Structure 1
């Protein structure tokens, strides 16, 4: 799944992508084709518990597809997808694909670029739980992320065979990868370094204010 959502703007777009040369990555064409598959006659029971969790994170609403347009059925009202928050759209499309893509089964791979994009940080706990559950069903989940919260939540939920891979560059050898089995074991962790930098700035500012307060007494 790509980081940018196009589902809310899909009406007419699929025909354009099929007929004309565009600058869109093939990933977008593929995800649009999968996202607009018709509903299965029998739901994929393997993912039913995860679908229920995702439904809760959408406030109880479920996506509905009519022609080339998505709607979110929320509390009895159908909301056009381009009026729905992009983070919710992402979760809704993920729900629909899990429910209706007939070939998704144990041993398959799900690639997701920046699942945290446009999501409230409070929802990452639930998303990490669902991804962890999918890994325990035998799917391989590969996520590209810059989110400390998502990384830690995946570790907390004990995703199956969890590996942290940090990509970094060197002057002599180009791009290299560092692999760890825990968040603390990640080398070349720029996310951690930035959090530490902000923490030290905040701590220094607090200590400076505290010292000024003592000197003023």
Structure 2
């Protein structure tokens, strides 16, 4: 769905420099030298996104790891729309630790630019990494659970999460006692 939109505005993607910025940013995370993103024929009438490398090779974005593919897609969509609110479900999905640290820094930069960022995660590592980089901002952490059709929530600070962790309580499984 995201790529359908990106394909439909591809001239804007290229002319704005977003394809080059995203390709070069992501290349630093994967030890490659991506110069740009292109759209090229793939099967029949289909076109697919490719990363263009400095040695002239092209690699279909769909053949890259899921984390890279997701990050390229999200960053391009962000560059195109520049929303005031960014919603990202399962932010840690398919991310290696280095990519997760990059995402944490990117989110911190977005917050500095005034973007409201709402993330969901099942990962304590992602929570601690991202919240730790933006804790001087207006950060709110909510533990959520759906119980018999009723959404329950509890607000926590990063300090609360850390203290519970040190006490041996994983907030993901301690929710019956915390909510």
Output aligned runs, 1:1-217, within 5 Å. Answer: 29=1, 31-36=2-7, 37-40=9-12, 41-43=15-17, 53-59=25-31, 60-61=33-34, 62-66=36-40, 68-76=47-55, 77-99=57-79, 101=80, 103-105=81-83, 108-158=84-134, 160-170=137-147, 174-182=150-158, 184-185=160-161, 190-191=171-172
TM-score, normalised with respect to structure 1: 0.59
Deviations along 1:11-67, one digit per CA (max 9) or x if unpaired, are xxxxxxxxxxxxxxxxxx3x23333221433347xxx7x886444224342432236
Q: What root-mean-square deviation, in Å, do the aligned CA atoms of Structure 1 and Structure 2 show?
A: 3.2
Conserved 8 A contact 1:53-1:130: no
Q: Secondary structure at the match of 1:73?
A: strand
Q: Which runs of 5+ in 1 are unaligned?
A: 1-28, 194-217
Q: CA deviation at 1:93?
A: 1.5
Q: Secondary structure at the match of 1:157?
A: helix
Q: Secondary structure at the match of 1:127?
A: helix
Q: Answer with 1 or 2: which has the greater Rg.
A: 1
Instruction: Identify if the C-alpha distance between structure 1 residues 34 and 179 changes in structure 2 by more than 3 Å, giving closer, same or farther.
Output: farther
Conserved 8 A contact 2:23-2:37: no
Q: Secondary structure at the match of 1:190?
A: coil
Deviations along 1:165-192, one digit per CA (max 9) or x if unpaired, are 1102456x82211112325258895337
Instruction: Identify if the C-alpha distance between structure 1 residues 154 and 56 changes in structure 2 by more than 3 Å, giving closer, same or farther.
Output: same
Q: Which runs of 5+ in 2 are unaligned?
A: 42-46, 175-179
